[in-house]
A = this chain, B = another copy of it.
């Protein structure tokens, strides 16, 4: 059985495990104030070409999302997110549990558009309604698409002019930044958003997201807020070491590239076999539209997820590749399609 279910099935890249082992008996300071966490932050700042940001390591993505949103909004303020946004549908109301509404905008490709933001602003005009204060986007999105530099710049512009904060969920930023059509780099992002994170969990770490606070006004007291939400790990060095391994060289990007390459190969075959996609493939998440008749057979040897009905005969499914996806498994999947397509 080969799994294309998600990008968090395997453990960590060996170089991460190695560094964890190597430093295992060091006596570190607790709560993320250790040497490894500091080194990791320095490495990331170099990649960002920006010394002027605050970096914090948070165990997981939902926790990072709820922490950012609840820390930077006043009680009456809300976020704007795509209907498909992770914070809207797949976090069991984590954002609302901190007191904030998620105002959604329709989105076919997982992205938030300028006109959607404007519509929300035009509608929310008085104190009887929540006040939009932050735009939440993810890159890559929940539908595998990415924001181009010009799109992110435009979002930056509208947010700045309307007094909105811009928050980029980078759970899959490794794949986004190494995607072929991508023209954004880490330093661009740090200049265009108020806060974002670099996802480790879905790009080769055991766990951990590196939260980057770019807006100076948002930096104050953030460690209090991490602690309060239960996200300040006693052994903070465990995530520090992992990001040290990922960013002391280019490992983070290599892992993203590998996942994308594997996905590209699958996408190519699928296209050659005549299948279309719900969204244009470019990252490690593929959303092909497959005939229902194929699904049972496919599921005998492959794990993947059913997304939704495309029409009566076809279904949108999801294949996900990762840093650990083997060429062997990709070949097996390719062969399946070659054999089973007309």
Contact = CB atoms under 8 A, between A and B. Distances in A.
A206 B11 CA distance: 14
Contacts of A74: 71, 221, 225
Interface string A1-37: 1110110111110100100110111111111000000
A127 interface: yes
Given A90-B129, A94-B229, A201-B235, 8 more contacts: A5-B27, A59-B207, A94-B228, A96-B101, A97-B99, A97-B228, A127-B221, A201-B233
A187 interface: no
A310 to B, nearest CB: 17
Contact of A92 (B14, B98, B202, B228): B228
Contact of A12 (B24, B65, B224): B24
Contacts of A291: none
A191 interface: no
A238 interface: yes
Contacts of A237: 11
A62 B27 CA distance: 22
Contact of A94 (B12, B102, B227): B227
Interface in A15-72: 17, 20-21, 23-31, 59-67, 70-71
A127 to B, nearest CB: 4
B3 A27 contact: yes
Interface in A96-120: 96-102
Interface in A163-184: none
A291 B59 CA distance: 41
Contacts of A21: 11, 17, 21
A96 to B, nearest CB: 4
The 7 closest A-B pairs by CB, nearest first: A63-B230, A11-B24, A76-B224, A8-B234, A93-B130, A127-B223, A92-B228
A283 interface: no
A131 interface: yes
A267 interface: no
Q: How many A residues touch the partner, as a band? A: 35 or more
A30 B11 CA distance: 11
Contacts of A101: 93, 96, 102
Interface centre among A1, A129, A227 (most CB of B within 10 A): A227
A78 to B, nearest CB: 6
Contacts of A96: 78, 96, 99-101, 130
Given A93-B78, A100-B96, A224 B27 contact: no
A258 to B, nearest CB: 14
B24 A221 contact: no
B61 A234 contact: yes
A128 interface: yes
B24 A90 contact: no
Interface centre among A21, A59, A61, A96 (most CB of B within 10 A): A96
